[in-house]
């Protein structure tokens, strides 16, 4: 299953820690937006790691499931260099 995970972290140190941890589990789409691909167990593992850093009173974390049947549009500057095809987004 695919999920879009985004966050808004108020503290720079927490932001950097969360970003580094997210890179272990998901592909960065933008600085605070990641594409996660995996099962519920792997998603729970990712969230458990992130929630140890996140301040629930100051920060915001959002997770959106992506349907394999839905359309995906990419408008603007490409994420990957020209000639590189991201086969996970079909």
- Tell how strand 33-37 and strand 60-66 pair up: unpaired
36: left (phi over 0), alpha (psi -120 to 50) or beta: beta
The CA distance from 85 to 83, in Å, is 6
- Which residue numbers belong to the known binding site? 8
Residues annotated in a binding site for Mg(2+): 8
């Amino acid at each position: 299953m695919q999920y879009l995970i985004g966050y808004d972290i108020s503290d720079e140190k927490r932001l950097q820690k969360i970003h580094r941890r997210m890179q272990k589990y998901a592909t960065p789409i933008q600085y605070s937006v990641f594409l996660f691909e995996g099962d519920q167990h792997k998603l729970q593992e990712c969230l458990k790691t992130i929630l140890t850093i996140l301040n629930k009173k100051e920060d915001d974390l959002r997770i959106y499931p992506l349907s394999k049947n839905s359309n995906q549009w990419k408008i603007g500057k490409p994420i990957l260099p020209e000639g590189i095809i991201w086969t996970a987004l079909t």
